[in-house]
């Protein structure tokens, strides 16, 4: 065994001390700084798990003649202006309006009727009920990724969930 | 120097170690099966960074890495009833993440060859020494020296230390095993990777005086 090798073996066999822990603490900080977890990843995982737990029917997105509604490059989120979502049983249209740094979301669901409508954002859920015409709105909403979860009184255990949109 | 966990009674040492991610993951899985989703939601917060860096250490680009990490969580909840030993959850997730990342990297390398694209993996845990970006925010001179020495370690040591640094002692074994390193690669003794780093640092006058 060379001197270098025996020194290495000796140091390696030593118990971890305060300095080792300090070094690891600094390495952790360096790793986080060099390659931070993308902002929003934890939130979007949380949302995906929530949707998964709902065993929901995922509504398909149909863009209705709104050229500014370009899908983002990563295709995980869609910039919202006016958007229509459809499933076999329900069609939902929403429009998004800027309002003092935040947004208002107006929506309309057909066939008309009272639905429970949830707005999911980063773990926060806001709930409202549509009126008898199927209209609903959320005011004072923060910008960021969001989903709508709609529940029909006829079938409350199978919610309808929109893809993630960017408000 | 003797480590305190070699002289303390075992139960005291264990108590000092606190609860690791493996224990939290086990409890979250059991709670989820009982209909309580809160502990798992909390686990996403604390465990996603480790999964992220595990995937990135395989050379996955940031977009792929986000998909891989999210899929690991989705797979966990889809298969949650079939997990026989909840205490193995952390290990399972790390290995699943590593393999999925490895597959996607292999796929994208094949694509790269086909399309003759010129893209570089910029992840430092995976990148060869020469490719590593120097743009990162190193806050102090001491960190800079540490960074240089960590960067000069062999790939497997750089990955081991980079990932083990993100967890506490109770999880060292799980992390090193998931990386394919033998048990005892680190903790309770230093192991060869940390020893290499300590020797390199102690022979660097710039580190020793600061």
The predicted model scores a pTM of 0.73
**Could you read off the pLDDT of B159-192 as tens digits, one per residue?**
999 999 999 999 999 999 998 998 889 988 999 9
**With 70 as the cut, is the pLDDT of residue B210 above it?**
no
| Mean pLDDT value across residues A142-157 | 85
Distance CA A58, CA A24 (A): 44
How high is the pLDDT of residue A82?
Answer: 80
| Mean pLDDT value across residues B37-61 | 94
| Mean pLDDT value across residues A137-153 | 90
Contact in structure between B160 and A12 (CB atoms under 8 Å): no
Distance CA A32, CA A13 (A): 29
Looking at chain B, which residue has its C-alpha nearest residue A12?
B191
**A125 touches B at CB < 8 Å:** no
The answer to whether the CB atoms of B165 and A7 lie below 8 A apart is: no
The answer to whether the CB atoms of A42 and B44 lie below 8 A apart is: yes
Cβ under 8 Å to B: A residues 25-54: 25-35, 37-38, 41-42, 44-46, 48-49, 52-53
Looking at chain A, which residue has its C-alpha nearest residue B2?
A15
How high is the pLDDT of residue B12?
Answer: 40
Confidence of residue A161 (pLDDT cuts 50, 70, 90): confident
Residue B72 φ/ψ, nearest 5 degrees: -60, -45
**With 70 as the cut, is the pLDDT of residue B108 above it?**
yes
Distance CA B155, CA B128 (A): 8
Confidence of residue B114 (pLDDT cuts 50, 70, 90): low
ipTM value > 0.90: no
Looking at chain A, which residue has its C-alpha nearest residue B185?
A12
Q: Which of B199, B123, B198, B134 is nearest to B163 (CA)?
A: B123
How high is the pLDDT of residue B115?
Answer: 54
Distance CA B96, CA B89 (A): 10
**Could you read off the pLDDT of A30-86 as tens digits, one per residue?**
999 889 999 889 988 988 888 788 766 666 655 554 434 444 444 445 555 788 888
Distance CA A84, CA A92 (A): 6
**With 60 as the cut, is the pLDDT of residue B70 above it?**
yes
pLDDT, chain A, mean = 83
* Mutual angle of helices A18-34 and B191-202, in 10-degree steps: 90
Nearest by CB to residue A12, choosing from B62, B138, B189, is B189
Interface test with A, best of B121, B138, B159, B190 (most A CBs within 10 A): B190
- Chain A to chain B Cβ contacts (< 8 Å): 129
């Amino acid at each position: 065994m060379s001197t270098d090798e025996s020194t290495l073996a000796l140091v390696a066999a030593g118990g971890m001390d305060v300095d080792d822990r300090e070094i690891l603490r600094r390495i952790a900080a360096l790793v986080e700084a060099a390659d931070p977890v993308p902002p929003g990843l934890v939130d979007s995982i949380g949302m995906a798990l929530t949707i998964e737990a709902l065993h929901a029917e995922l509504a398909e997105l149909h863009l209705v003649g709104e050229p500014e509604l370009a899908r983002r490059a990563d295709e995980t989120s869609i910039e919202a202006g006016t958007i229509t979502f459809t499933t076999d049983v329900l069609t939902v249209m929403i429009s998004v309006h800027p309002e003092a740094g935040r947004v208002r979301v107006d929506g309309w669901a057909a066939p008309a009727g009272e639905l429970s409508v949830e707005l999911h954002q980063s773990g926060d859920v806001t709930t409202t009920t549509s009126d008898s015409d199927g209209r609903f709105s959320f005011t004072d909403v923060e910008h960021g990724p969001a989903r709508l979860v709609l529940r029909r009184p006829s079938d409350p255990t199978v919610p309808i969930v929109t893809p993630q949109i960017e408000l | 120097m003797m480590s305190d966990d070699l002289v303390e009674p075992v139960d005291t040492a264990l108590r000092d170690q606190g609860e690791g991610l493996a224990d939290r993951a086990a409890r979250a899985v059991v709670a989820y099966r009982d209909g309580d989703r809160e502990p798992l939601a909390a686990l996403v917060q604390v465990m996603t960074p480790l999964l992220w860096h595990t995937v990135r250490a395989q050379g996955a680009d940031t977009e792929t890495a986000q998909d891989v990490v999210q899929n690991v969580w989705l797979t966990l909840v889809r298969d949650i009833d079939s997990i026989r030993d909840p205490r193995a959850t952390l290990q399972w997730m790390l290995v699943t993440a590593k393999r999925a990342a490895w597959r996607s990297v292999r796929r994208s390398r094949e694509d790269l060859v086909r399309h003759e694209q010129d893209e570089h993996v910029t992840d430092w845990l995976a990148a060869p020494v020469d490719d590593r970006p120097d743009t990162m925010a190193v806050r102090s001179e001491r960190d800079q020296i540490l960074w240089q020495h960590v960067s000069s370690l062999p790939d497997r040591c750089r990955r081991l230390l980079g990932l083990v640094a993100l967890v506490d002692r109770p999880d060292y074994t799980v992390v090193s095993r998931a990386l394919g390193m033998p048990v005892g690669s680190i903790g309770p003794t230093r192991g060869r990777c940390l020893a290499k780093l300590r020797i390199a640092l102690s022979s660097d006058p710039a580190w020793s005086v600061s």
